[in-house]
Amino acid sequence: MEMDLGSAIIGAVAIMICILPFIMMSNSRKKREKLFLQALSGIAAQNNCQIGYHEIFGNFAIGFDSSKNFVFFYKQTKDNKQEQSVDLEGIQNCKVINVSRTFKSKEESHQVIDRLELCFTPMLKNKSEIKLEFFNADLNLQLYDELKAIENWSKMIKDRLLLKK
């Protein structure tokens, strides 16, 4: 009986040691997502807007206020924080900038993405383009869902731009 109780305690401790890192990672991710959403909401509040739709990734968050046609972006790296808002009323076009390079081997070629940006072209020629960086190979080791996300955001924003014409 004593052997069974001792084995059960050792087993329970071993299971806790295995599960604890996953619980800590989940809590850390939820805390970071909450902070990013608060930062995004703060940018929206500065423009008298509210976030209706948003997505949060590794080091950035993007949101949208559909009633006022604003896009909000927040990015945090080790060195700095970037906050940006884009009023779609003054935007002519939205496109994806995919900076990549191709490596060729004997049998096939491989494309490596160095940077992904969502680029807004203003209606006024004297204003410069606004670029929101979704991915940078110098800062991120691996591309996750950023390519799919940037394409979805580009399509959604282009649809909004077509509606206002």
> 73 or 30, which is more confident?
73
Residue type, 134: F
Residue 30, Cβ neighbours under 10 Å: how many? 10
Predicted local distance difference test score (pLDDT) of residue 3 = 62
Percent of the chain at pLDDT above 70? Answer: 97
Six token digits for residue 41 = 């909401």
Phi then psi for 13, rounded to 5 degrees?
Answer: -65, -40
pLDDT in tens, 60-90: 999 999 889 999 999 988 888 899 999 999 9
Domain extents in the chain = 2-163
CA 53 to CA 61: how far, in whole Å? 11
